[in-house]
């Protein structure tokens, strides 16, 4: 495995004053002056003073991060009621005043600052050397909805959101086991982005979990804004177009992979969760493959793999055959292609490149424009440009058909990042076909296969279970065997708890048919 780049370990400098390393002072005014200096020109930081009898206090929070009604009902109002009858103490505040489930205390000012920035609320009381931290998160956030990039015919309609704890809860609701471990950490000196590492103890290999945590600990960066940052920083090889870590918006996909011994990484602020290690074949599996009749999805998997080959090689083969190997084309078809190209001023290579680049530009425009407009631009652009280009004599009709079939084939790949990799690799194969004919296309395909066999993802061969060959694990590659036949977890990932189901599970159908 290629060594992961070592980052220089430096302490976070997000707290710019040495004052934050002090203990909380019994003088409330001293604490508030330090905090106000640290949060100078931060208009979203709220310092809410409270006076109850002789007691003075401050509630500190970030506006827009918390549910102000919850703070009022479960914190401020009860503080005003209790202070009249009893002497205030940290225990009193935690046990009787703050009626929320998540309450803790701290004696450090830097803990106060970090918790405020993590969307927690802090209560500081005059005369106390401890601050009370409680979770009253709220504000407007996107609710759980159907995933935008992984729609399915059958299965869950729930997708991840941008909130870390909502996402961990979605996974926990599917894996209700105390063996599901969720380890939290913050990455990013300025952003302090919350990260959660999920795995099932006893199923995930301990060395895999240690490797993931080790790579995350070596990251020293100013900010993490999306899970793509993490993906690029911890992957084995940066010099490849093929994704070595799967991302998904679906909680059921994460749960299924955890049960196979993989590790998931959830990043606060993004609905895309990372799953690792990943193999090449994993990117051609859709979630509904496991929810329907296995005979149907065996056919669909073969269809996807066949169309992947078409998406990669068809333009290159077309250029190679029409340029160097015309004898391979039936005479009637060759005459039809020759007649359509009679008025075309460009060689076949240039013609195909014009259409490929136009198709990619239309696809990119359709993604970047608003959804309603983008769909219209994509459809009308393809029709108008294709028809106009043929009538103007810039490209031939067979070329438009070839490029259209290639584009449709790339849409059959369930994972967008794998689809983009094959789209990019088409261009070198077109060039090789124009230079060396079919010999060049075959060399290009062999180079891609060799590259795939050399890749690894967290120690797992990328082309496994085909290379190296594992016959037992082929049950879920080209085929999707019935659930009663998938009685073992992948042997490359799981070494201990390899049994997925007992033998009696496979006998249910026999008992049913006999009765």
Residue scoring higher pLDDT (342 or 372): 342
Q: How confident is the model at residue 160 (pLDDT cuts 50, 70, 90)?
A: very high
Q: What is the pLDDT of residue 66?
A: 75
In the predicted structure, residue 342 carries a pLDDT above the cut 90: no
Write out the two tokens for 398: 């067979």
Residue closest to 283 by CA, chosen among 127, 420, 82, 139? 420
- Greatest mean pLDDT range, 59-63, 122-126, 255-259, 390-394: 255-259
Q: What is the pLDDT of residue 81?
A: 60
Determine how β-strand 263-267 pairs with β-strand 193-200.
antiparallel
**Beta carbons of 50 and 83 less than 8 angstroms apart:** no
User: Mean pLDDT across the stretch 406-417?
Assistant: 89
In the predicted structure, residue 18 carries a pLDDT above the cut 70: no
User: Mean pLDDT across the stretch 29-33?
Assistant: 89
Counting residues of the chain whose pLDDT is more than 90, the rounded percentage is 36
Out of 153-157, 360-364, 381-385, 458-462, which region has the weakest mean confidence (pLDDT)?
A: 381-385
> What pLDDT, in 10s, does the model give residues 187-203?
998 888 999 999 999 99
Q: What are phi and psi of 379, to 5 degrees?
A: -70, -55
Residue closest to 230 by CA, chosen among 216, 243, 242, 250? 216
**Beta carbons of 467 and 453 less than 8 angstroms apart:** yes
Average pLDDT, whole number, for the chain?
A: 83
Residue closest to 318 by CA, chosen among 406, 446, 424? 406
Report the run of H or E that residue 56 belongs to, with start and end. strand 55-62
Q: Where are the beta strands (DSSP E) in 258-327?
A: 263-267, 273-276
Up-side HSE of residue 463: CA atoms within 13 Å toward CB?
A: 12
**Beta carbons of 281 and 469 less than 8 angstroms apart:** no
Residue closest to 74 by CA, chosen among 31, 47, 103? 103
CA 79, CA 513: separation in Å to the nearest integer? 67
User: Mean pLDDT across the stretch 251-279?
Assistant: 94
Secondary structure of residue 456 in the 3-state scheme? strand
Number of Cβ within a 10 Å radius of residue 343 = 10
> What pLDDT, in 10s, does the model give residues 400-410?
889 889 988 98
Counting residues of the chain whose pLDDT is more than 70, the rounded percentage is 83
Q: What is the pLDDT of residue 287?
A: 86
> What pLDDT, in 10s, does the model give residues 99-144?
566 778 888 888 899 888 888 888 888 888 888 888 777 766 778 8
User: Mean pLDDT across the stretch 286-308?
Assistant: 89
User: Mean pLDDT across the stretch 333-359?
Assistant: 88
Q: What is the pLDDT of residue 13?
A: 40
Q: How deeply is 312 buried, as exposed, middle or buried, from its count of CB atoms within 10 A (0-12, 13-18, 19+)? A: buried
CA 125, CA 129: separation in Å to the nearest integer? 8
CA 307, CA 411: separation in Å to the nearest integer? 9
Secondary structure of residue 438 in the 3-state scheme? helix
Distant-in-sequence, close-in-space partners of 35: CB < 8 Å, separation ≥ 6? 47, 60, 109, 112, 113
> What pLDDT, in 10s, does the model give residues 466-503?
888 888 888 888 888 888 888 888 888 887 888 888 76
CA 496, CA 264: separation in Å to the nearest integer? 19
**Beta carbons of 60 and 124 less than 8 angstroms apart:** yes
Write out the two tokens for 159: 């997708």
CA 334, CA 487: separation in Å to the nearest integer? 52
Q: How confident is the model at residue 180 (pLDDT cuts 50, 70, 90)?
A: very high
Cα-Cα-Cα-Cα dihedral sign, residues 394, 399, 401, 407? negative
The DSSP string of 36-47 is HHHTTT-TTEEE
Which region holds residue 64: left if phi is over 0, alpha if psi is between -120 and 50, else beta?
A: left
Report the run of H or E that residue 78 belongs to, with start and end. helix 77-82
Write out the two tokens for 430: 């077109």
**Beta carbons of 172 and 191 less than 8 angstroms apart:** no
Q: What is the pLDDT of residue 105?
A: 84
Q: What is the pLDDT of residue 411?
A: 87
User: Mean pLDDT across the stretch 299-312?
Assistant: 91
Q: What is the pLDDT of residue 224?
A: 93
- Token look-up 């710019």 returns 16
In the predicted structure, residue 92 carries a pLDDT above the cut 70: no
Report the run of H or E that residue 49 belongs to, with start and end. strand 45-52
Q: What is the pLDDT of residue 75?
A: 59
Write out the two tokens for 465: 């279970």
In the predicted structure, residue 90 carries a pLDDT above the cut 50: yes
Q: What are the respective helix, strand and coil percentages of the chain, to the nearest 5?
A: 50, 15, 40
Domain boundaries along the sequence of the chain: 18-134, 164-278, 294-460, 482-514
> What pLDDT, in 10s, does the model give residues 420-446?
999 999 999 999 999 999 999 999 999
Report the run of H or E that residue 165 belongs to, with start and end. helix 164-172
User: Mean pLDDT across the stretch 216-226?
Assistant: 93
């Amino acid at each position: 495995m290629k060594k992961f780049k070592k980052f220089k370990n430096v302490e976070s400098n997000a707290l710019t004053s040495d004052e934050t390393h002090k203990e909380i002072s019994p003088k409330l005014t001293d604490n508030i002056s330090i905090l106000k200096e640290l949060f100078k020109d931060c208009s979203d930081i709220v310092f809410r003073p409270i006076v109850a009898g002789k007691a003075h206090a401050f509630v500190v929070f970030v506006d827009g991060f918390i549910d102000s009604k919850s703070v009022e009902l479960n914190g401020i109002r009860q503080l005003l009621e209790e202070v009249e009858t009893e002497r205030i103490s940290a225990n009193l505040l935690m046990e009787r005043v703050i009626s929320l489930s998540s309450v803790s205390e701290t004696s450090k000012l830097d803990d106060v600052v970090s918790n405020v920035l993590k969307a927690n609320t802090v209560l500081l009381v005059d005369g106390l050397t401890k601050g009370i931290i409680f979770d009253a998160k709220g504000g407007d956030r996107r609710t759980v909805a159907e995933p935008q990039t992984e729609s399915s015919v059958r299965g869950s309609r729930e997708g991840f959101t941008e909130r870390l704890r909502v996402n961990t809860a979605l996974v926990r609701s599917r894996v209700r086991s105390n063996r599901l471990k969720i380890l939290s950490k913050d990455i990013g000196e300025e952003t302090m982005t919350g990260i959660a590492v999920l795995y099932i103890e006893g199923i995930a290999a301990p060395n895999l979990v240690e490797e993931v945590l080790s790579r995350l600990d070596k990251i020293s960066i100013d900010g993490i804004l999306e899970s793509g940052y993490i993906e690029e920083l911890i992957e084995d090889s940066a010099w490849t177009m093929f994704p070595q870590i799967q991302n998904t918006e679906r909680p059921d996909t994460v749960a299924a992979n955890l049960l196979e011994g993989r590790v998931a990484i959830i990043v606060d602020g993004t609905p895309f969760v990372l799953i690792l290690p990943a193999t090449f074949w994993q990117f051609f599996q859709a979630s509904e493959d496991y929810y329907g009749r296995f005979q149907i999805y065996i056919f669909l998997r073969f269809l996807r793999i066949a169309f992947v080959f078409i998406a990669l090689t068809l333009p290159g083969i077309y250029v190679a055959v029409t340029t160097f190997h015309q004898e391979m084309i039936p005479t009637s078809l060759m005459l039809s292609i020759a007649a359509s190209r009679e008025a075309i001023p460009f060689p076949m290579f240039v013609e195909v490149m014009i259409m490929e680049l136009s198709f990619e530009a239309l696809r990119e425009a359709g993604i970047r424009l608003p959804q309603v407009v983008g769909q219209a631009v994509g459809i009308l652009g393809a029709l108008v440009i294709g028809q106009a280009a043929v009538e103007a004599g810039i490209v031939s009709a067979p070329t438009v058909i070839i490029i259209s079939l290639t584009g449709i084939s790339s849409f059959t790949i369930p994972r967008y990042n794998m689809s983009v990799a094959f789209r990019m690799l088409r261009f070198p194969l077109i060039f090789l076909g124009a230079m060396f004919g079919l010999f060049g296309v075959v060399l290009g395909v062999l180079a891609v296969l060799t590259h795939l066999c050399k890749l690894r993802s967290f120690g797992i061969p990328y082309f496994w279970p085909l290379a190296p060959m594992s016959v037992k694990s082929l049950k879920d590659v080209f085929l999707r065997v019935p659930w009663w036949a998938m009685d073992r977890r992948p042997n490359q990932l799981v070494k201990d708890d390899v049994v997925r189901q007992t033998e009696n599970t496979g006998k249910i159908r026999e008992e049913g048919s006999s009765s």
